[in-house]
Chains A and B, each alone.
Chain A
Amino acid sequence: MIAANLPALQVVLPLFGAVLCAFLQRGILAWGVALIVSLAMPFIAAGLLIQVLDSGTISYALGGWKPPIGIEYRVDVVNAFILLLVSLIGAIIMPYAKASVEKEIPADRQAWFYAIYLLCLCGLLGMAITGDAFNIFVFMEVSSLAAYALIAMGRDRRALLAAYQYLIMGTIGATFYVIGVGLLYSMTGTLNLADMASRLGGIENSRAVLAAMAFLTVGISLKLALFPLHVWLPNAYAYAPSVATVFLAATATKVAVYLLLRYFFTVLGTVFAHKSLPIAEIVLILSLAAMFGASIVAIFQDDVKRMLAYSSVGQIGYITLGIAITNLAGLTGGIVHLFNHALIKGSLFMAIGAVFYQIGSVKLDDVAGLGKRMPITMGAFAIAGLSIIGAPGTVGFISKWYLVLGAFEKGWWWLAFLIVASSLISVVYIGRIIEVVWFRPVSAAAKRAKEPPLSMLVPTLLLVAATIYFGFDTTATAGIAGLAAELLLAGIR
C-alpha cells in the first residue's frame, strides 16, 4: 500500500509538514517536524528509484483520475534521480539548520521559516515528480514563492531587495513558462507531458510549437539562472539566511534544469531533433558564456557568498553544456554534474554558513586567518573547493571527464579545451579564498572564532566526504546519470 503510494507521499508529506509547522509556532517543535519529514524524503525517493530501476517507469494517477484527464505523477530514471538528489540535500540540511536558524532568524519567525522551507521542498519535489505541464507551473510557483520568502528572511536589509528582484524575475520566468504551455495546449489539447509528446508528431514545425519552445526555454532558463538570465541569483544567494542559501543553491536550479531536460528531450524531442530552432547552439554559446563570464566575475567578489553564487552561475553552464553537446557522454556529464554540483555547492555553502554562524560575516576581509581558528571547517571548504576545480579523485573530475569525453567524441576539440580552460578560472577564485584564509593574519572579526557546533560540522563533513566518495564510486551517480541520458536521448531519435 505504502509502496504503491510513494509518489503521492513524496509531495504530500512536506506539504502537511509545512502546515503543521505553521500551527506549532515554536521554533524547536517546527524543527522537529521538518527534521522528521526531511529525513523521510530520501527513503521515499530511494524507494521510487529502486522501483523504477526494477520495473520501469511508474505512472501514478493522482486521486484515481486516470491520465490524461487526471494529473499523472510519472517517475522515470531521470526524475527519480532528481527526487533523490533534492530529498538527500534536504535531509542533510535539517540537522545543520537548527543552530544556524537559531542564530540568524528571530525566535518568533523560526517556525515560519521551517514551514516555508517545507513548502519550498514540496514545490521542488512536485515539479520533479509530476507529469502534467500545468501542475509543474503550480509547483513551480509554490517553490518560488516559498523561496522568495526564505530569501527575504535574511538579516541584511538587502535581502529584501534580493527577494523582490527574484520575485519579479521569477514571476516573469514562470509566466513565460505558462505561455509556452498554453501554446502547446492549444496545439495538442492535452497537458499530460507524455501525451503531449506523442501528439506533437507531424506539427513540430508549426509556428505555435516553435514559439512555445522559445517561451519555455526562456522561462525555464530564468529559473535555472542560465547566463545572462542569472542576475537575480547572486544577490539572492548572498543575502538569504545560510540554510536557505545551501538549500536553494543545491536544489532549486537543479530542478529547473530537470525541466529543461524534460522539455527538450521528452516533450519537444522531435522539435529539438529537427533543429528548426538553433536551440542547442544557443545553449552552447550561453553555457560557455556562463562558464567563462560568471566565473571571471566570481574572481572579483569581496563577499565569499557572492563569489560562490557567481561560481554557481558558471557551474550551471557546465550542466547546460551537457545538453548542448547532446551525445551520451556529454549528457551523462551534464546530468551527473547536476548531482555533483549540488554536493559541492552544498558543502561550500554549509562551510561558509558555519563561518557566518561564528563571525557574523562572510566578507573576504573578515574571514582572513580563519584557517587557524576553524581548521576543520576551512579544511572541508578547501576539499570541496578542489572538487569544484575538478581535481581527480573528486566528483568534479567525474563531471569534467564525461563532458570532455563528450566533446571529443563529437569531434569538438576546441570545446574540450574550453571546458578545461574554464575550470582553471575556478582555481583562481577558490585559491583566492584559500590564500586569504590561511596566509593572512587573523582578522579582528575572526579573533574569537572557533569550530561550529557538531550539529553543523557533521553534516558539512558528511557532504564533503560525499564529494570524495562519489569521485571514486560512481555507480550511483554516473551510472544512473548514464541511464537517464540514454532514456532522454531516446526521445530525440
Chain B
Amino acid sequence: MDLLQAIVAHYNHWIIIFLMVSGLYIVVARGNMIKKLVGLGLFQTSVYLLYLSPGKILGGTPPIISEQHTVYSNPLPHVLILTAIVVGVATLALGLALVVRINEAFGTIEEDEIFAGEEDE
C-alpha cells in the first residue's frame, strides 16, 4: 500500500519519464523526419515538466511580495522554461525548415528512402 502511495505521490515523475522515454523512442525508431521532430518535441516537453513540477507549490500564489501572499511558487523555473520553450520552438522551426529543404532536394522525407537513393548513386 505504501508502495502504491509512493507511486501515486510522485505521479508527476511518472509522466515526465513516460514522455521522455516515448519521445526518445520516436526519435530513434521512426524514419519519417517530421515524426522524429515530433518525438524530439515530446522529449523536450518532458524536461519542461521536470523543471516546472517541483517549482509549483499546491495552494501557492504567484510570487508577489506582500502580506497576503505568504506561500508562493518559485518563479525561477517558470522563467527558465519560458526560455527553454523559445529554444525548443526555434529548434523545431529550424528542423522543419531543413525537412522542407530535404524534401525539395531528395523528393522524400523518409530516411530509408533517402539513404537507399544515396547508395544507388
Contacts and interface: CB of A to CB of B under 8 A. Distances in A.
Indicate yes or no for A touching B, C-beta below 8 A.
Answer: yes
Interface of A: 134, 137-138, 141, 145, 148-149, 152, 157-158, 160-161, 163-164, 167-168, 171-172, 175, 178-179, 182, 185-186, 191
B14 interface: no
B2 interface: no
Contacts, number: 65
Nearest to B39: A168
Interface in B77-117: 77, 80, 83-84, 87, 90-91, 94-95, 98-99, 101-102, 105-106, 114
B94 A145 contact: yes
Interface in B49-66: 50-51, 54
A161 B114 contact: yes
A167 B95 contact: yes
A171 B84 CA distance: 12
Given A158-B118, A164-B99, A172 B43 contact: yes
Dominant secondary structure at the A interface: helix
Given A157-B106, A164-B102, A175-B43, A141 B50 contact: no
Contact of B98 (A164, A186, A191): A164
Contact of A175 (B47, B80, B102, B106): B47
Contacts of A137: 84, 87
22 contacts: A137-B87, A141-B91, A145-B91, A148-B98, A157-B102, A157-B105, A157-B106, A158-B118, A164-B33, A164-B98, A167-B94, A168-B27, A168-B36, A168-B40, A171-B40, A172-B27, A175-B43, A178-B84, A179-B50, A182-B47, A186-B54, A191-B80
A148 B50 CA distance: 27
B83 A134 contact: yes
Contacts of B80: 134, 191
A141 B47 contact: no
B98 A167 contact: yes
Nearest to B44: A175
B47 A160 contact: no
A179 B45 CA distance: 11
Contacts of A160: 98, 101-102, 105
B24 to A, nearest CB: 7
Contacts of B118: 158
B34 to A, nearest CB: 11
Contacts of B76: 191
A207 to B, nearest CB: 13
Contact of A179 (B47, B90, B98): B47
A152 B95 CA distance: 11
Given A158-B118, A186-B54, A167 B91 contact: yes
B35 to A, nearest CB: 11
A160 B114 CA distance: 12
Given A138-B83, A168-B95, 15 more contacts: A134-B80, A138-B87, A141-B90, A149-B94, A152-B101, A157-B106, A160-B105, A161-B114, A164-B102, A171-B91, A172-B40, A172-B43, A175-B47, A178-B47, A185-B51
